[in-house]
Amino acid sequence: MSSNSNTSPVLAGPPGDCCVQGVKHFGDPVGKVIKIADIETYVSEPPTDTTGPKKVVLFFADVFGPFYVNAQLLQDYFASNGFYVLGIDYFFGDPISRHTDEPNWDRDAWFAKSRKAATEETPKWIKAVREIYGSDAKYSAVGYCFGGPFALEIATTDDVVAAAFAHPAFLNEDHFRNLKKPLLLSCAEVDQTFPSESRRRAEDILAEHKAIYHVQVFSGVSHGFATRGDPNLDQPRWAKEESARSVINWFKRFSGSSW
C-alpha cells in the first residue's frame, strides 16, 4: 500500500508503552460486524437515511482494534453525524489487548506480523468498500496510532476527499510530502511517538507544499488521548471529545455536508 521511501526520515516512530495504556470507556455500541473482502469490519450507519451521495469514513484503529468498545463508540459518534463508518479489523482477531497480560510476550514480533498483514490486506478491503458504496460516495479516512499511515497513504490518492489522524505512529516525511488531500493533525502535547519537533517538521513540509491542513495540539494530554483518554478527568475528556468533533467537522467540510 505504501508509496513512501524506506529512506525517508522518520517523524512518527513505532508504538511504545504509551500505546497500550489508557482507560476503557463505557457505553452501548450500536454498530454491527460484517465481512468486507473477507475481513471482519465494524459498520456504524447514520440514524436516518441521508440524501445525495453517501458519506463514508474509513476508520483505521489503534492497536486495540475497531471492536474495542472505545473505538466502537467513536465510530458510532461519527455515524451519528451522517456518515457511514467502516472499521477494518486489520489485526484479524488478534488485537494487542489479547496479549498485554502475557509474560514474556514479544511485542515487536506482534507489530511486525500485524503491520505486514495490515499492509497486504487493506488495499483489497478499500477496493471492496468502494464497490459497495459506489464511486460517487464521498470518502474520508481517519487513523489513530497504528492507523495513522493508512489514513495518510490513502490521502496521496483520489480515493478520499480528506484525511485526519490523532497521535500517529509509523510516519515518515514522505507521508506528508506526497499528500494530495486536506489533512487534520490532532496531536497531544506529550507524545513520545510523534514528538513536538516531528510535528513541527511535518507542518513545515505541509506549508512548503501548500497543502490544506489544520493542526490542533491539546495540552495536558499524552499519546492515546483521542481513543483512550480518561472521561472522568476534565482535560482528557474535553480533548478526546474535541478531537472527535474536529475530525467529523473536517470531513463535513470536504464532503459537502452542512455544519
Q: The domain that contains 171 carries what CATH number?
A: 3.40.50.1820
In a domain, 201, yes or no: yes
pLDDT at residue 24 in the model: 76
In a domain, 218, yes or no: yes
Domain range for 16 is 10-255
In a domain, 103, yes or no: yes
In a domain, 1, yes or no: no
**pLDDT band with cut points at 50, 70 and 90 for residue 2:** very low
Question: Bridge partners of 39?
Answer: 36
In a domain, 4, yes or no: no
Number of domains in the chain: 1
In a domain, 187, yes or no: yes
Q: Residue range 212-236: average pLDDT?
A: 94
**Which residues form the catalytic set?**
145, 191, 223
* DSSP state letters, 168-229: --SEEHHHHHT--S-EEEEEEEE-SSS-HHHHHHHHHHHHHTT--EEEEEEEEEETTHHHH-
In a domain, 196, yes or no: yes
What angle is formed at CA 70 by the lines to CA 172 and CA 36, rounded to 5 degrees? 75
pLDDT at residue 3 in the model: 45
In a domain, 168, yes or no: yes
pLDDT in tens, 74-111: 999 999 999 999 999 999 999 988 887 788 888 889 99
**pLDDT band with cut points at 50, 70 and 90 for residue 53:** confident
Kindly tell me if the per-residue pLDDT of 149 is higher than 70: yes
